[in-house]
């Protein structure tokens, strides 16, 4: 099969972790396809080009080409954009216009287009379909169903994109359920499936843990309100007020950082460390010295950080119905209600009260579960099978 993949999410020198899940999938998908031309559209701000990290190509150069794997080639393209998402509703069309202007491709040899994210990438795929009659599928991520469709105009655009697709992939059951509720007529006519993401096997580097120390809690996330880090801090304050010795390592940066630091200082919470952004190897080291991962995110599409923590032997606290939670067996779940620090406190106490042998067994079980069910190879295999199915008549 010869395919085109479209994804504005892809690692760059400036943002090495942005869209790394797309790159990981592409590397595994490579062995299933004859060829995969991956189009990475990057926004271009003519006036702000010297100020924006996104304009990481020379201003005169509108495309860049290199090989990622045996059958997979990358094309970076640019498209006109403006700050504050002023052109967001037309961004996929602008991607399409610039691509046709600067890239030559034989669409007669393309079997399928795969777009990551409905808007803007799916809009780009839809325009290619209209011109060249190339079928396309869309992988829907959290942004589409949790943010973009809350705008009525953008919801109509996504309706158009998904209704004209040959199939839809969701990265979690939660997003699939939102789709069925919000777009019932499309759900009755189009093929769709949930395929969870994989994880980076580097996190399998599991080390012997010392469970005799204080309770060691960790989270990795963008520090925005919906990630629930504040509720972790509230639960930890309650633990410390009740004489439980615990430490909390917060990895990540974001708009809530100052508020979180102020909360810690105002409430005299001890042993809280804000690491900011950390590279993968540093995160692995911190995981190796931690006991449990707590990220009570209440707007979670899937959450690869949970998988990475589990691969490192950490049980995870997550919100009921969000992201990875519905995929976990009951004996591995530490699920909490959204915005409920008492639930988090209860789960942390439940874990803390386990015997050392119980903690060791739990650590081994979460690692085994991830290895068995969430490899990128398995994700790529299921994705390719769905690609083949999507080309059959609906």
pLDDT in tens, the chain (394 residues): 999 999 999 988 777 778 889 999 999 999 999 999 999 998 887 655 444 444 444 443 455 778 999 999 999 888 888 877 888 999 999 999 989 888 888 888 999 999 999 999 999 999 999 999 999 999 999 999 999 999 999 999 999 999 999 999 999 999 999 999 999 999 999 999 999 999 988 898 766 777 777 999 999 999 999 999 999 999 999 999 999 999 999 999 999 999 999 999 999 999 999 999 999 999 999 999 999 999 999 999 899 999 999 999 999 999 999 989 999 999 999 999 999 999 999 999 999 999 999 999 999 999 999 999 999 999 999 999 999 999 986 5
Domains present along the chain, CATH in parentheses: 2-198+376-390 (3.40.50.2000), 201-373 (3.40.50.2000)
**Would you call 33 helix, strand, or coil by DSSP?**
coil
Determine whether 192 is exposed, middle or buried from the number of CB atoms within 10 Å of its CB (0-12, 13-18, 19+): buried
Classify residue 173 by burial, with Cβ atoms within 10 Å: 0-12, 13-18, 19+. middle
Query: Measured between alpha carbons, how far is 20 from 155 in angstroms, rounded to an integer?
Result: 27
Q: What is the pTM of this model?
A: 0.87
**What number of residues does the chain have?**
394
Alpha-carbon dihedral sign for residues 355, 357, 363, 367: negative
Q: Helices 123-132 and 152-163 sit at what angle, rounded to 10 degrees?
A: 40
Q: How far apart are CA 179 and CA 181, in angstroms?
A: 5
Closest CA to 348 of 321, 325, 315: 315
| E strand spans, 99-245 | 112-116, 136-140, 167-170, 192-194, 215-220
Share of the chain above pLDDT 90, in %: 78
Contact 319, 245 (CB under 8 A): no
Using CA atoms, how far apart are residues 168 and 193, in angstroms rounded to an integer? 7
Question: CA–CA separation, 7 vs 139, rounded Å?
Answer: 10
Strand partners, 41: 77
C-alpha dist (Å) from residue 166 to 14, 105, 144, 186, 346: 35, 22, 18, 11, 45
- Dihedral, CA of residue 361, residue 357, residue 270 and residue 224, to nearest 10: 10
Compute CA 374 distance to the chain's CA centroid, rounded to the nearest angstrom: 14
| Antiparallel, parallel or unpaired: β 112-116 and 2-6 | parallel
Helices 229-241 & 257-266 angle (0-180, nearest 10) = 10
């Amino acid at each position: 099969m010869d395919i085109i993949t479209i994804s504005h999410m892809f690692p760059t020198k400036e943002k090495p972790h942005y869209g790394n899940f797309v790159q990981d999938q592409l590397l595994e998908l490579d062995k299933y396809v004859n060829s995969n031309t991956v189009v990475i559209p990057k926004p271009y701000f003519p006036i702000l080009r010297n100020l924006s990290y996104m304009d990481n190509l020379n201003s005169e150069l509108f495309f860049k080409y290199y090989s990622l794997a045996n059958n997979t080639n990358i094309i970076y393209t640019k498209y006109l954009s403006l700050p504050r998402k002023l052109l967001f509703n037309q961004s996929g069309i602008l991607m399409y216009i610039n691509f046709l202007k600067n890239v030559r491709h034989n669409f007669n040899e393309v079997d399928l287009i795969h777009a990551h994210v409905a808007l803007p990438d799916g809009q780009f795929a839809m325009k290619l379909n209209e011109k060249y009659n190339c079928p396309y599928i869309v992988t829907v991520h959290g942004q589409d169903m949790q943010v973009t469709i809350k705008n009525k105009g953008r919801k109509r655009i996504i309706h158009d994109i998904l209704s004209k697709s040959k199939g839809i992939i969701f990265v979690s059951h939660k997003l699939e359920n939102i789709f069925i509720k919000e777009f019932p007529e499309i759900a009755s006519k189009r093929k769709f499936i949930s395929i969870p993401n994989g994880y980076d096997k580097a996190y399998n580097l599991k080390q012997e843990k010392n469970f005799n120390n204080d309770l060691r809690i960790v989270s990795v996330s963008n520090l925005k309100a919906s990630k629930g880090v504040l509720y972790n801090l509230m639960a930890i304050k309650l633990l410390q007020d009740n004489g439980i010795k615990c430490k909390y390592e917060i990895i990540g940066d974001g708009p809530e950082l100052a508020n979180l630091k102020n909360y810690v200082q105002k409430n005299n919470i001890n042993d809280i460390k804000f690491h900011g952004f950390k590279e993968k190897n540093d995160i692995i080291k911190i995981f190796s010295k931690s006991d449990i991962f707590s990220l009570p995110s209440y707007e979670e599409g899937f959450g690869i950080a949970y998988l990475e923590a589990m691969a490192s032997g950490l049980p995870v606290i997550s919100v009921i119905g969000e992201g990875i939670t519905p995929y976990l067996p009951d004996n591995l779940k530490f699920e909490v209600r959204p915005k409920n620090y008492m639930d988090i406190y209860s789960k942390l106490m439940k874990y803390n009260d386990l015997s050392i042998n119980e903690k060791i067994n739990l650590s081994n079980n979460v690692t085994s579960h991830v290895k068995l069910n969430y490899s990128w190879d398995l994700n790529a295999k299921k994705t390719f099978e769905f690609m083949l199915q999507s080309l059959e008549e609906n």
